Chains A and B, each alone.
Chain A
């Protein structure tokens, strides 16, 4: 892996840089990026905003398949590589709640099939991690909660079943904020996951374990879930690609329900192509989820061309809308700079980028929290100690419920259940729940209108990069505020892709910033196509692997 020390490509000096085709590139921003040396980075002279030059992200899933087909590696070789890395990095990252004991055995079975020249699935031998709120038949599924400690579901979630049918091997279950309620993964009842870019920082959440595991290359890809940003924000914090599909694109059957009108199952990868392959595998209608869509699932992978086939202006005719409200006061300057640089890069590829206004954008946040808490108060009533998980001792039924829930559920989950109970109380329904649904309609309509004028919306994912572990645990409201840029997308059910677009100052080698692309309903194909073009042409400081992996 080449490691350049040239300062030419530093963001603040991009004025003298070149774009992906070697043409002069000019950036108007005067944002300053700190330049400092750090002994923890490989060369000792590396600068922030620039970790190392490396090859463009390419599909590790496709590589595994090619290697298996050409007999360059066996499935056991592939799995052993990943398991060694997984165990090696686990003490620092702590991304897993459970590691499969059968992964190697499954790889051996696959090798036997290959030896017999049997047909193998599109994900054959691919090591995948699964967020712990997705049910797995042969592994514990706790949703990060003590109340489900040791619980083994009797079936696989549909998304998990489909991955397995495609040949994927599940390597383990990843850590998360309890039942998806949190933005740091500190809300897990079991452990705190670290960010592979700086182990003193959070990986984001609630799918923090899945994002950190992909960033630390402990698996080839991962499943997550996104109710208000739980795939996108950790993808941004950990510098990986994350996709929140359209509501209804992927079955929710076997996903532990948090807020059913907002929950979606999605995926993480280290390249856009990997995410496209994973979505291809898990998407589609499911009899077990009445809200899953019967719309055809197009070929997502087919539209991703190799970089050498791009025209000089591969994005000619594409119109992006930069959401003005997400780049205003309160958003870190390094985040704004990275997003504006990304927008300029898209322009250099022939796209038109305009600023769009969504004046009601900030209303989505309280509306989201009313709806999510209300739905949670109902959905989580099932955790009562009667049918599964931990039961508290009590002589009578009602105290048994009360004690089991008091002992088994964590503080944030209790808070949200109580807030939801309040919002749904007789007499307050109109004031909170109904009103939040009316605001949801306003947000849906506003987004629909702007998306009729542009093809894709652009924004940051969060106002900051990854912050320190423990920094925001005391104040729930300040934690909620960080979700402003993601919750509206859930309220409108739209698909969104997050991809790394630069590094801000912090940590031993900089901290990743993610670019959020929001598309039209069921238009994941276009998001993946545009995201792939961005990824394959982006200035190289967008493409980095965390210090832990170097």
Chain B
């Protein structure tokens, strides 16, 4: 017992991290399994779960903001749903306008010196020498 106390403390610390580390159960489970629904069917989609979206998008909203945004975002998502009624059978998605020119899209793979290195580094919110400094990524007692 005594010997394992430090590792159980680590386990406890780990356990506290678990909820954040494990992917939350996704509310984005599609009600029907077909990957491309037949064009005429109006499909019901789950309303957004704002708290989980905030987690994914890494935005810490206050409870008040969640309350304020929820109906607004639900309204817009409901409005998006009209796209479900469009007949898109045999229509190729358009990722962009036109096609990329294979020649012009690629430039020669030759290094160039970026002259403004210092200006760029100067805009870092926190730095140590030439390095960008950020808060702890892992807790010290967790492997």
Given the known A-B contacts A406-B61, A427-B30, are A386 and B132 also in contact in the complex, defined by CB atoms under 8 Å?
yes
Interchain CB contact under 8 A, B84 and A418: no
Give me 15 other A-B pairs in contact (C-beta within 8 A), A154-B120, A493-B96 excluded: A155-B116, A287-B107, A387-B123, A398-B20, A402-B59, A409-B59, A415-B69, A418-B48, A418-B53, A419-B73, A422-B53, A426-B26, A430-B36, A439-B86, A477-B72
Q: What are 5 A-B pairs with beta-carbon distances under 8 A?
A: A366-B82, A387-B125, A422-B48, A427-B28, A435-B84
Interchain CB contact under 8 A, A437 and B83: no
Residues on the B chain within 8 Å of A137, using CB: 116, 119
Given the known A-B contacts A248-B98, A384-B58, A391-B125, are A418 and B136 also in contact in the complex, defined by CB atoms under 8 Å?
no
Chain A positions 397-442 with a Cβ under 8 Å from a chain B Cβ: 397-403, 405-406, 409, 411, 414-415, 417-419, 421-423, 425-428, 430-432, 434-442
| Closest-CB distance, B41 to chain A (whole angstroms) | 11
Give CA–CA (A384, B125) in the complex, Å: 11
Interchain CB contact under 8 A, B104 and A437: no
Chain A positions 308-352 with a Cβ under 8 Å from a chain B Cβ: none
Residues on the B chain within 8 Å of A405, using CB: 57-60
Interchain CB contact under 8 A, A428 and B134: no
Interchain CB contact under 8 A, B124 and A432: no
Interchain CB contact under 8 A, B88 and A431: no
Given the known A-B contacts A366-B82, A402-B60, are A425 and B28 also in contact in the complex, defined by CB atoms under 8 Å?
yes
Given the known A-B contacts A154-B120, A403-B60, A441-B93, are A396 and B135 also in contact in the complex, defined by CB atoms under 8 Å?
yes
| Closest-CB distance, A411 to chain B (whole angstroms) | 8
Give CA–CA (A330, B104) in the complex, Å: 44
Task: Say if the beta carbon of B113 comes within 8 Å of chain A.
Answer: no
Contact size range, A: 35 or more
Task: Say if the beta carbon of A294 comes within 8 Å of chain B.
Answer: yes
Task: Say if the beta carbon of A303 comes within 8 Å of chain B.
Answer: no
| Closest-CB distance, A493 to chain B (whole angstroms) | 3
Interchain CB contact under 8 A, B69 and A369: no
Residues on the A chain within 8 Å of B59, using CB: 402, 405-406, 409, 414, 417-418
Given the known A-B contacts A394-B135, A418-B73, A419-B76, are A430 and B35 also in contact in the complex, defined by CB atoms under 8 Å?
yes
Among B53, B62, B135, the residue within 8 A (CB) of A400 is B135
- B: residues with CB less than 8 A from A are 20, 26, 28-30, 35-37, 43, 45, 48, 50, 53-54, 56-62, 65, 69, 72-73, 75-77, 79-80, 82-84, 86, 88, 91-98, 100-101, 103-107, 114, 116-117, 119-120, 122-126, 132, 134-137, 139
Task: Say if the beta carbon of A379 comes within 8 Å of chain B.
Answer: no
Give CA–CA (A434, B125) in the complex, Å: 37
Interchain CB contact under 8 A, B92 and A438: yes
| Closest-CB distance, B143 to chain A (whole angstroms) | 16
Give CA–CA (A290, B101) in the complex, Å: 9
Give CA–CA (A417, B30) in the complex, Å: 21
Interchain CB contact under 8 A, A435 and B83: yes
Q: Which residue of B lies closest to A406 (CB)?
A: B60
Among A367, A388, A411, the residue within 8 A (CB) of B124 is A388
Interchain CB contact under 8 A, A477 and B75: yes
Task: Say if the beta carbon of A395 comes within 8 Å of chain B.
Answer: yes
Give CA–CA (A414, B104) in the complex, Å: 35
Interchain CB contact under 8 A, B76 and A385: no
Interchain CB contact under 8 A, A438 and B80: no
Interchain CB contact under 8 A, B93 and A438: yes
| Closest-CB distance, A478 to chain B (whole angstroms) | 10
Q: Type the 1/0 row for A136-161, where 1 means its CB is closer than 8 Å to any CB of B.
A: 01000000000000011111000000
